[in-house]
């Protein structure tokens, strides 16, 4: 409801007239809310599409006109507004047994929100789909977070992967406002010799979030973390690859909102083949971003420092 607040009601009316069932998550209007007291911070941030118990898509891509332009932008677009440029994002297509979990998550949300309309029953599980994966197949874990139940499942999985890293931690993250535990895990990894590299936004549709994240740069750079800021397109991807074998694509940002307030879903994929593809994508992001120089950052003027201080005060609520 909050995320689509500016979408005209006529848009949803047209969907319904076309036979599409549309349901509002946690409606702002008490007249449309069937789930008790409004929890304005509890939002459905998942991006989930499941088709015929066969194919699922998830990641950072929303349904929005901002995706009508190229995902990687161009150097010439720096002076344009974020809304005018293409958004840099990542989505993943999944086939196999993991698809069923995405359908179950959709159905659970539909029922918890008391949405109208009956959902089709899931077909019986094909026993052949449960066999051990063959060489070349990926092991996929679907990790959901639900604010009303256990909002920290993905955070714990991510922290565990970072703490266990031996070679590299490569993260491309749209909204980066790390909590103390995540910040400590990143700095510890860098201090023990792991290559920790972050691709973060150099501009954003939320200046508070941008500066709140930048307020943590000093500690990260001091620990040896390398930071690159992307300015040629608005960064919206939420991905990581650790040691070239543990990868994630999903909806969770590294911020308090994703870890505490939102319903999220992330696919964690284990395998070197997929990890290599993620590393190539990450290398492209690094190439298209601008490195943050530790010495130059330490000498930044008082204006940006003041914005960072102010934004830090609100980071839990961003």
pTM more than 0.85: yes
Chain-centre distance for alpha carbon 163: 20
Q: What is the pLDDT of residues 155-176, one digit of tens each?
A: 999 999 999 999 999 999 999 9
Q: What is the pLDDT of residues 227-238, one digit of tens each?
A: 999 998 899 999
Average pLDDT of the residues in 299-306: 95
Q: Please list the alpha-helical segments (H only) found in the chain.
A: 9-17, 98-112, 153-163, 180-191, 207-214, 217-223, 256, 272-287, 294-298, 302-312
Q: Greater confidence, 6 or 37? A: 6
Tell me, what's the pLDDT at 35?
A: 57
Q: What is the pLDDT of residues 102-149, one digit of tens each?
A: 999 999 999 988 888 888 887 777 666 666 666 666 899 999 988 877
DSSP string, 14-68: HHHHTT-----SS-SSTTS--SSS--TT--B---EEEETTTEEEEES--SSGGGG
Is residue 318 over pLDDT 80?
no
Cα gap 264→267, rounded to integer Å: 10
Place 38 in a pLDDT band, splitting at 50, 70 and 90: low
Tell me, what's the pLDDT at 42?
A: 84
Domains of the chain, earliest start first: 1-40 (no CATH), 41-317 (3.30.870.10)
Q: Could you tell me which residues are beta bridge partners of residue 58? A: 48, 92
Q: What percent of the chain has pLDDT over 70?
A: 87
Q: What number of CA atoms fall less than 13 Å from residue 296's CA on the CB side?
A: 5
Q: Could you tell me which residues are beta bridge partners of residue 250? A: 266
Q: Greater confidence, 260 or 14? A: 14
Tell me, what's the pLDDT at 77?
A: 46
Tell me, what's the pLDDT at 202?
A: 95
Average pLDDT of the residues in 220-232: 96
Contact between 278 and 59 under an 8 Å Cβ cutoff? The reply is no
Average pLDDT of the chain is 89
Average pLDDT of the residues in 202-208: 91
Q: What percent of the chain has pLDDT over 90?
A: 64
DSSP string, 132-144: PPPTTPPEEEEEE
Q: Greater confidence, 130 or 88? A: 88
Is residue 76 over pLDDT 60?
no
Tell me, what's the pLDDT at 112?
A: 87
Q: Greater confidence, 76 or 207? A: 207
Q: Greater confidence, 161 or 32? A: 161
Average pLDDT of the residues in 252-280: 94
Measured on CA atoms in the order 195, 269, 238, 275, is the torsion positive or negative? positive
Average pLDDT of the residues in 189-216: 95
Q: Greater confidence, 260 or 150? A: 260
């Amino acid at each position: 409801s909050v995320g689509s607040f500016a979408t005209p009601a006529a848009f949803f009316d047209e969907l319904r007239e076309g036979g599409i069932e549309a349901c509002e998550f946690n409606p702002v209007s008490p007249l449309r809310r069937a789930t008790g007291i409004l929890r304005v911070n509890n939002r459905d941030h998942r991006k989930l599409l499941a088709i015929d118990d066969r194919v699922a898509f998830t990641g950072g891509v929303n349904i929005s006109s901002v995706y009508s332009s190229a995902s990687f932008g161009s150097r010439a677009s720096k002076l344009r507004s974020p809304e005018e440029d293409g958004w840099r994002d990542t989505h993943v297509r999944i086939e196999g047994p993991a698809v069923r979990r995405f359908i179950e998550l959709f159905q659970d949300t539909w029922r918890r929100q008391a949405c109208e309309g009956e959902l089709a029953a899931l077909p019986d599980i094909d026993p052949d789909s449960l066999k051990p994966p063959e060489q070349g197949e990926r092991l996929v874990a679907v990790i959901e977070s639900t604010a009303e139940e256990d909002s920290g499942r993905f955070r714990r999985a991510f922290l565990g992967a970072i703490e266990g890293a031996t070679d590299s931690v490569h993260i491309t993250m749209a909204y980066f406002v790390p909590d103390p535990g995540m910040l400590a895990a990143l700095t510890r990894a860098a201090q023990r010799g792991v290559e920790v590299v972050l691709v973060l936004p150099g501009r954003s549709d939320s200046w508070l979030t941008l500066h709140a994240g930048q307020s943590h740069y000093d500690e990260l750079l001091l620990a040896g973390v390398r930071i690159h800021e992307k300015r040629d397109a608005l960064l919206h991807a939420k991905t990581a690859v650790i040691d070239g074998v543990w990868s994630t694509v999903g909806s969770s940002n590294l911020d308090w909102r994703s870890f505490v307030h939102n319903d999220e879903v992330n696919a964690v994929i284990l395998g070197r083949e997929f990890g290599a593809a993620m590393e190539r994508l990450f290398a492209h992001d690094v190439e298209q971003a601008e490195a943050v120089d530790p010495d130059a950052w330490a000498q930044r003027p008082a204006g940006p420092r003041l914005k960072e201080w102010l934004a830090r005060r609100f980071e839990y609520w961003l």
